[in-house]
Amino acid sequence: RKEVEQDPGPFNVPEGATVAFNCTYSNSASQSFFWYRQDCRKEPKLLMSVYSSGNEDGRFTAQLNRASQYISLLIRDSKLSDSATYLCVVNMGGGSYIPTFGRGTSLIVHP
Amino acid sequence: GAVVSQHPSRVICKSGTSVKIECRSLDFQATTMFWYRQFPKQSLMLMATSNEGSKATYEQGVEKDKFLINHASLTLSTLTVTSAHPEDSSFYICSPFQSGSDTQYFGPGTRLTVL
């Protein structure tokens, strides 16, 4: 089993749709969690951190389920500009930062 | 977010030559530097992790004598691809990290094409 798993997609949705991605992780001692966005031929950029209580940033909502060891990202009212690959990152370090990346989920938002 | 520069952004070279990629963290001190490689339509692959002033730790399958990493200061790290071959053609991305932080930033990447 891979340490961090994501459905690669692609998720093909119309503008305005709501779409959700899940990411599962294997290490129950993982400390922190993040969603990054990567556009084609560009570097990843931090989208949001994922907090235990869940957090929201505009149309984006991230949640953490420690019991089931997964994090999720919900995008409401999808825009064409949301088309990208979304990377799940799990810090598996104890006292240090040891990031493990998922393979990414591709989202395509069409008119 | 933090400012990270990477140079060059694109390089095309002949097989057998060496290519040096520089990564600078412009507004914070990078105690740790991650170097990644990404082939087309594939995920990021961690190549090595280096801490300032120490030797880099390489991931399994990454040749340390081929991919030389220097992290001599808290704001600069370099990756040298020695005797590059076409199979080394890839997108190389640095990612500096500051101890005590929980956020990882990325350089804009270097697209290497070896002919």
Q: Verify whether the Cβ–Cβ distance A43 to B106 is below 8 Å.
A: yes
How far apart CA B115 and CA B108 sit, in angstroms, is 23
Confidence of residue B103 (pLDDT cuts 50, 70, 90): confident
> Which residues of B are less than 8 Å from A91 in CB distance?
102
With an 8 Å Cβ cutoff, is A99 touching chain B?
A: yes
A-contacting residues of B 41-100, CB under 8 Å?
A: 42-44, 46, 91, 93, 97, 99
Whether the per-residue pLDDT at A1 is higher than 80: the answer is no
Percent share of chain A, pLDDT over 90: 76
With an 8 Å Cβ cutoff, is B32 touching chain A?
A: yes
pLDDT at B14: 97
Residue A87 carries which side chain, given as an amino acid letter? Answer: L
Residue whose structure tokens are 């990477």 = B6
Percent share of chain B, pLDDT over 90: 73
Are A24 and A4 a contacting pair, CB within 8 Å?
A: yes
Section B47-59 average pLDDT: 91
Q: Phi, psi (5° rounding) for residue B86?
A: -50, -35
Residue whose structure tokens are 């998720």 = A11
The candidate with the shortest Cα–Cα distance to A13, out of A105, A98, A91, A100, is A105
Q: Verify whether the Cβ–Cβ distance A45 to B103 is below 8 Å.
A: no
